[in-house]
Structure 1
Amino acid sequence: MKQRYKVLQLQPDYNIKQHDFADLAEQIFKALPAERFDTTMAFLKGKPGPGQPVSRADRSVYFEFSDKALKGMRLKASWQLFQFCRREKFDVVICNRFKPVNMLLQLNRWLKIPLCIGISHGFGEYDRFYRRRQAQRLIGPAWQFVGVSPAVKQYLLDCKCGFTDANTHGITNAIDIEQAEALQLDRAEARQRLGLAQDARLIGALGRLVPVKGHTYLIQAFAALKDKYPDAQLAIIGAGREQARLQAEIERLGLDGRAHLLGFRENALQYVRAFDVWTMPSLAEGLGLALLEGMSGHLPVIASDVPAMLPLIEGAGGLAVKPADVASLTAALDSYLALDDQALRAKGEQAFEYLNHHHDIEVFRQKYLKLIESGLSAAKESK
């Protein structure tokens, strides 16, 4: 039997979910035929507790480095990672996010792994001059890079520090639509479990309660329309450090009973059909998987026109708004709330059709498989 290629994916944190419909790393491993690839998932921090899920990889490794060990020069952590990779002799290492990429850029000077793939999930990773200078010095022929949207790919190219058209690719995130739909509760049950009114027009959002997600502007925009649409309500699924401040804003604007902070919900996608309109008022995003999740629930979408999301919003027939602009967000909400149920559902079906045609999970998997196969072939030819 032909020896299998050994593939390592390196993650900054343990983050495996019960369902992998939107897990980029797990979906990449699903793309690799088991008879040709031996897979390992490694996490720099964290490990699963009792009953928590593990990766679908052939094996998982938990380094359990502390926050302190991963700051600064990271000498001890880098040495352990170096020893591990040297012992295992991987053919491919896929690095998710900046820290794993940065560590492997340095270590592969000695490891000489044939193919390394660095995946960037957002903007800003190479804004600092010393990071660009380091990348310029360390990026070599073994490296390929992926931006999770065309905008992130362009960000990398614009850094002009070793990212080129030849080694940098845009592979847009996707979700397993069939799996996502199977997880979703019907409208009535989802509302019941969330404690929301069955007869309300519901505006929904999903995301951490942090400033960059723009929830405060969504609450303010909804407040401007509360009297015009007395049957409308707003609900946000997510937890975070902004919760107390957002709750105070709800109370200040007289939205008690109309705007709801629902907190963290396990497998939040199951509740998406509770809503009539899906919003994502972020100030910045690498792609915005929550936007795709809303589309998978056949919902019309409103989202900020940041570079990573604008093509998605326009393709889905949604409404793009200016980030941190309450007036723009108010006008978009007003436009959808004014529609009758049939017209609103038609908008949701348009978004779902776009999702099916442009964010198919099988296309995503095949692009990664092709990238890995071509990279290994190029490495073999260069020997």
Structure 2
Amino acid sequence: MSQRSKVLQLQPDYNVKAHDFADLAEQIVKALPSDRYEVTAAFLRGKPGPGEAVSRADRSVYFEFSDKSLKGMRLRAMWQLYKFCRREKFDVVICNRFKPVNMMLALNRWLKVPLCIGISHGFGEYDRFYRRRQTQRLIDRHWRFVGVSPAVKHYLLDCDCGFTDQNTYAITNAIDIEQAEGLQHSREKAREMLGIDPSVRLIGALGRLVPVKGHIYLLQAFAALKDKYPNTQLAIIGAGREESRLAAEIDRLGLSGRAHLLGFKEIALQYIRAFDIWTMPSLAEGLGLALLEGMSGHLPVIASNVPAMLPLIEGAGGLAITPKDVPTLQAALDTYLGLSDDELKAKGEQAFRYLQQHHDIEEFRREYLNLIDSGLEQARKEQP
């Protein structure tokens, strides 16, 4: 057997889940044939506790750097990462998010890893002038960059700091639909587990309870419709610092018994079919993966028209709203709540078909494998 190419996938934090239907780093590992690639997963911070999931890569490395050591010049962390990469002699380094990209941009001046891939998961990473200047100085022929959506790719190109149409790609986020569907309980079972009345229409949302998710505007929009649709309730799965504020808003709006904060749920996707309508009123999103999760539950979608999500909403035949704009969110909810059960279900099936056609995990894996194969081939041709 010919020698396998050595790949390092570098992530800022340990966050491997037992189910990887939406874990894009793990899906990249799955994309690389084991007979041709030997993959190491490395995490700058954190490590799994007893019984927690580990990467499916050939091996995992946990640097366990402190937050302090990853700020500023990061000299100690940079030196350790340099020694590790020099010893291992990787052929490819895949960097997820800004910090790993930034560290490897500097180190690869000396390491000369043939192919480095930097993945941007959202917007704003290169807004600061000094970051753009540094990036422009360090990008060279070894580098390729990926935005997780066309919108993120355009953001990178617009930064005008070394990202070009030749070295920057959009590989659209995706989920493992088959695995996601296999985790989902039936509507009846999911409602029973959540303690939700099986007879009501249920508006749903899933995500951390933080201001950027826009849940407070969802509550306000629902409150304006609660009398028009007395058989409708609202449920939000998630935990976070906004919980007490949202609970107070439920009381203020007279939504007690109609709006439910269900808290954190392990593998929240298993409950998704409890909902009839899926909402994402976020003020900003880089990935919009939860929108795809909603579609995997055959649900009609309402979501903010932020750049990362607008193409997904339009493709799925969903309803786009303006962030923070309660009247547009109220109108979208009113539109779907005014449909018959059959019409609402048909909208959900339309969203699911779009997901199958445009966000299939097999295509995602193919695109990453092609990027890595072609990048290595080009690097070999350029060798002196």
Give the TM interval when normalised to the shorter protein: over 0.9
Secondary structure of the structure 2 residue equivalent to 1:116: strand
Paired residue type of 1:308: A
Name the counterpart of 2:372.
Answer: 372
Distance 1:67 1:48 in 2: 17
Q: Give how far 1:263 is off.
A: 1.1
RMSD: 0.5
- Structure 2 residue ranges without an equivalent (≥5): none
1:375, distance to aligned residue in structure 2 (A): 0.4
The code of the aligned residue for 1:62 comes to Y
1:99-114 equivalences under 5 Å are 99-114=99-114
1:165 aligns with 2:191: no
The answer to whether residue 55 in structure 2 is matched with residue 46 in structure 1 is no
Alignment of 1:330-345 (within 5 A): 330-345=330-345
Quote how far apart the aligned CAs of 1:196 are: 1.1
Give the aligned partner of residue 119 of structure 2. 119
Task: Indicate yes or no: 2:259 matched with 1:262.
Answer: no
Q: Does 1:178 align with 2:178?
A: yes
C-alpha distance after superposition, 1:131-190 (max 9, x if no partner): 000000000100000000000000000000000000000000000001100110000110
Task: Read off the aligned partner of 2:276 and give its amino acid letter.
Answer: D
**What are the residue-to-residue correspondences of 1:280-291 with 2, within 5 Å?**
280-291=280-291
Aligned to 2:7: 7
CA distance in structure 1 between the partners assigned to 2:172 and 2:190 by the alignment: 29
CA deviations over 1:101-134 (Å, ceiling 9, x no partner): 0000001011100000000000000000000000
Post-superposition Cα deviations, 1:55-93, rounded to whole Å, max 9, x if no partner, equal 000000001111111111111111111111011000000
Q: Quick check: 1:302 aligned with 2:302?
A: yes
How many Å separate the matches in 1 of 2:6 and 2:195?
A: 48
Distance 2:280 2:135 in 1: 33
Letter in 2 for 1:217: Y
Residue equivalent to 1:155: 155
Structure 1 residue 287 displacement after superposition: 2.4
Matched residue type, 2:118:
G
> How far off is 1:275 after superposition?
0.2
In 2: Cα distance, 1:78 partner to 1:222 partner: 50
- Where in structure 2 are the equivalents of 1:23-38 lying within 5 Å? 23-38=23-38
Query: Is 1:209 aligned to residue 209 of structure 2?
Result: yes
Q: Secondary structure at the match of 2:224?
A: helix
Q: Deviations over 1:338-357 (max 9, x none)?
A: 11100000000000000000
Alpha-carbon separation, structure 2, partners of 1:290 and 1:86: 38
Q: TM-score, normalised by structure 2?
A: 0.99
Give the structure 2 partner of residue 94 of structure 1. Answer: 94
- Displaced runs of 4+ in structure 1, greater than 6 A? none
Aligned-partner Cα distance in 1 for 2:170–2:277? 29
Matched residue, 1:252: 252
Offset of 1:195 from its aligned partner? Answer: 1.3
Counterpart of 1:80 in structure 2 is: 80
- Secondary structure of 1:344's partner? helix
C-alpha separation between the residues in 2 aligned to 1:133 and 1:113?
A: 22
Question: Sequence identity, in percent?
Answer: 78
Post-superposition Cα deviations, 1:3-62, rounded to whole Å, max 9, x if no partner, equal 000001001000000100011000001110000000000000001011101000000000
In 1, the alpha carbon distance for the partners of 2:79 and 2:199 equals: 59
